[in-house]
Structure 1
């Protein structure tokens, strides 16, 4: 997966082309972006985890976006060689890739061993990354409630 820094740098590199009076384009390592996309493409095409659980149509769309990015970058040494339309097409494809990859990450299964209440035995509990994040966010929200130090306030009862 490509890094947030490269996505932000690419967005910043778009800015001078849209507003040429602001200065020259910020250089971006297109070789690194190519390598990251080629590696991700290989993982998606091979249906490696977490892409093995991704619906076929999403995987096909993801591959299409990656191939479009790679085709637009072909033969280019810097972002200065890209037209405004190519910049926008690459940016939109990278955003689509990021959204799809993030969703795939949310579907990743994470298993933990937990003790049951009143027992010394541990059980295996498996949840998706999205479920774990939702539970974490809900617990944080509950603890952030005013007056949550009282049992009634934290249990969802009247405040």
Structure 2
């Protein structure tokens, strides 16, 4: 989650900033290279996507969307003039790609969060630890509800 927020902030800063740093007392300014920061974030996100732990609950389709959006942003930032050289339309496209990435990774990161509970099984006093992701818990709940609905329909059909 931290990487997504940091990546968002860096990309947004890259889009909106006419970044200049006063490097001396005489007012000379040097430009900040934000594309290097984006590249570091892109590599980190791709590593997390391929690692399968941070974004374990992301679908292959969403994984492809994130990779495509990252590639489009990277190619837009490769222009020799950098962010300043992007037209308003190109900046809008980059911003929209950033939003796609943020929404997918934020949801996948939240769904991949591991929750552990200590439960006592019936017939024993020894508690056991059960760890499931948020998405696994949701799937189990939905599967249980579907099973109850099916049994209810079957009971109605037998009467």
Task: Give TM-score scaled by structure 1 length.
Answer: 0.59
Alpha-carbon distance, 1:104 to partner: 1.1
Deviations 1:129-153 (A, max 9, x none): 5799xxxxxxxxxxxxxxxxxxxxx
Unaligned runs of 5+ in 2: 20-31, 138-159
Structure with greater Cα Rg: 2
Within the alignment, does 1:61 sit opposite 2:61 as a pair?
A: no
Length, aligned pairs only: 119
Q: Check conservation: 2:115, 2:134, Cα contact below 8 A.
A: no
Within the alignment, does 1:88 sit opposite 2:92 as a pair?
A: yes
Within the alignment, does 1:26 sit opposite 2:39 as a pair?
A: no
Within the alignment, does 1:48 sit opposite 2:40 as a pair?
A: no
Residue of structure 1 equivalent to 2:102: 98
Higher relative contact order (CA 8 A, sep 6+): 2
The match for 2:42 among 16, 27, 37 is 37
- Structure 2 distance, partners of 1:78, 1:42, is 25
- Structure 1 distance, partners of 2:53, 2:60, is 14
- Structure 2 distance, partners of 1:89, 1:57, is 20
Unaligned runs of 5+ in 1: 14-24, 133-159
Runs of 4+ displaced beyond 6 Å:
none
Q: What root-mean-square deviation, in Å, do the aligned CA atoms of Structure 1 and Structure 2 show?
A: 3.2
